[in-house]
Amino acid sequence: MTRGRLFALVAALLLLGALGLWGSTRLDWASTDVTVSGHGETGAVPLAATGLVILMLGAAITHLRRNEAQMIAGNAVLLVLAAWPASLSAASELVGIHYPPTLLLVGLVGFLLVVTVHLSYEMTRVEDRTRTLAEEIALLRAERELERAASDDDASATADDAF
C-alpha cells in the first residue's frame, strides 16, 4: 500500500470514528441496539470506540517502527479515552471540572502551548546556528580574498622583477 493511500485510509478511519462518536448523540441510527463485548453498552459508540482503539494501537506501533517515541504519548492518551470514555469524566471530577469535554479542551490547549514554546525554542536555536554559520562563511570569504590579493601582489612583484 502506498504512503498516500495509507494516509487516506487512516484519515477516513479517524473521520468515521469521530462521526460514530458524535452521531451517537445526534442521530437515530446510532441508537440501535448493538452490544459489544458484553459490557451492555448499546449504539454505535462502542463500535466507534473499538475502531479508534485499534487505530491508536496501529498508530503506536507505526511510531515505534519509525523511532518516533515522542508521538506515542498522544496515542496512549487517545487510546485510554477511546477504551474507557468514563475516564474523562472521572478525571474531570477529580480536577473539579463539571463538563468533561472542557478538561479535554484545556488539556489540548495546554499541549498546543507546550508545542508552541518548544518550536519557538528550536527556531531560536536554528537561527543562532544559521547566524554563526553565516559569520563563519563571511570570515572564510574575507580570508580567501586576502590570500588572493596577496598572491596577486606576489605574482605582479615577481613579474616586475623578471623585467
* pLDDT tens digits for range 19-51: 666 555 554 444 444 444 444 455 566 777 777
Domain final residue pick, 56, 84, 112: 84
How many angstroms separate the Cα of 33 from the Cα of each of 42, 47, 51, 70?
Answer: 5, 11, 17, 39
Please tell me the distance from the alpha carbon of residue 29 to that of residue 45, in angstroms, as a whole number. Answer: 11
Domain final residue pick, 37, 52, 84: 84
Q: Are residue 12 and residue 79 in the same domain, yes or no?
A: yes
Q: Are residue 73 and residue 116 in the same domain, yes or no?
A: no
**Over the chain, what is the mean pLDDT?**
78
Q: Is 37 helix (H, G, I), strand (E, B) or coil?
A: coil
Q: Are residue 103 and residue 57 in the same domain, yes or no?
A: no
Q: Higher-confidence residue: 57 or 136? A: 136
> Hey, how many other C-beta atoms are within 10 angstroms of the C-beta on 45?
20
Q: What is the mean pLDDT of residues 121-127?
A: 95
Q: Nearest 5 degrees, angle CA 48-CA 95-CA 113?
A: 75
If you ran DSSP here, which 8-state letter would residue 140 be given?
H
Q: Are residue 80 and residue 106 in the same domain, yes or no?
A: no
Please tell me the distance from the alpha carbon of residue 73 to that of residue 111, in angstroms, as a whole number. Answer: 11
Question: What is the pTM assigned to this prediction?
Answer: 0.52
pLDDT, tens digit, 9 for 90 and up, residues 68-96: 877 888 778 877 877 777 787 888 889 99
Instruction: State the residue range of the domain holding 104.
Output: 98-163
- The per-residue pLDDT for 33 is 46
Q: Nearest 5 degrees, angle CA 109-CA 8-CA 32?
A: 80
| Number of domains composing the chain | 2
Please check whether residue 161 lies inside any domain of the structure. yes
If you ran DSSP here, which 8-state letter would residue 39 be given?
S
> Which residue's C-alpha cell is 495546554?
110
How many angstroms separate the Cα of 16 from the Cα of each of 11, 63, 82, 107?
Answer: 9, 22, 14, 23
Angle at which helices 44-65 and 3-26 pack, to 10 degrees?
150
Please check whether residue 93 lies inside any domain of the structure. no
Please check whether residue 90 lies inside any domain of the structure. no
Please check whether residue 155 lies inside any domain of the structure. yes
Q: Are residue 103 and residue 75 in the same domain, yes or no?
A: no
